[in-house]
């Protein structure tokens, strides 16, 4: 039996080899379709166009998604600072209620000082820094805004800051509000 199976297998292999040489597929009796080079190029072009359209669609979806995320980030970017400020607003509301009930100046001042200190410490924790006072120093247009010039009380005060009207602030080393100063002339 084994000898007969080997003979049949060999005859099948020989038939497959002959079919392959004749241009037919080895898996069946169907002939291999040979395309001319022009048709092959057209198929390649269709495949490349399809690939291009898919990549373009993916990129367009990515662009839309990132644009949406950016808009959402801009709209909710200050969320963390507002969360810090909400307890301070609550403290101010309690202070207002307390002012209506009591007329004690000393405790009112202590309460306002506590709320102020809480506000300053919360903003400092988020990266806000107050610029040091520059009274008596040379005017620096990089961090100061001259709102007016007055005659200098002495010659050594010319071009220097005489008074600071509003304090300047930095947010993580970036000026977010210039100090408003009066400069000697």
DSSP string, 30-45: PBPPPPPHHHHHHHHH
Residue pair 141/158 in contact (Cβ under 8 Å)? The answer is: no
Is 150 a domain residue? yes
The domain containing residue 167 runs over which residues? 129-185
Q: How many domains does the chain fold into?
A: 1
Q: What is the pTM of this model?
A: 0.56
**Residue 141 belongs to domain with CATH number:** 2.30.22.10
* pLDDT tens, the chain, 185 aa long: 444 444 444 544 444 444 444 444 445 566 676 778 899 999 999 999 999 999 999 999 999 999 999 988 888 878 888 888 899 999 888 888 887 777 778 888 888 899 999 999 999 998 899 999 889 899 998 999 999 999 988 888 888 999 999 999 999 889 999 999 999 98
- N- to C-terminal Cα distance for the chain? 120
**DSSP assignment, residue 131?**
P
Is 118 a domain residue? no
């Amino acid at each position: 039996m084994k000898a007969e199976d080997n003979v049949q297998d060999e005859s099948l292999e020989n038939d497959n080899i002959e079919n392959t040489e004749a241009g037919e597929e080895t898996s069946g009796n169907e002939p291999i379709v040979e395309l001319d080079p022009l048709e092959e190029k057209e198929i390649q072009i269709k495949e490349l166009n399809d690939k291009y359209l898919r990549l373009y669609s993916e990129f367009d979806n990515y662009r839309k998604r990132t644009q949406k995320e950016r808009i959402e980030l801009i709209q909710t970017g200050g969320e963390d600072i507002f969360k810090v400020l909400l307890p301070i607003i609550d403290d101010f509301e309690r202070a207002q209620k307390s002012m209506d009930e009591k007329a004690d100046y000393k405790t009112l001042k202590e309460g306002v000082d506590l709320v102020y200190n809480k506000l300053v410490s919360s903003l400092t924790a988020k990266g806000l820094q107050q610029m040091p006072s520059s009274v008596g120093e040379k005017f620096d247009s990089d961090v100061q805004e001259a709102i007016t010039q007055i005659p200098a009380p002495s010659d050594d005060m010319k071009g220097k800051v005489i008074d600071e009207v509003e304090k300047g602030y930095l947010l993580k080393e970036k000026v977010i509000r210039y100090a408003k100063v009066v400069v000697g002339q």
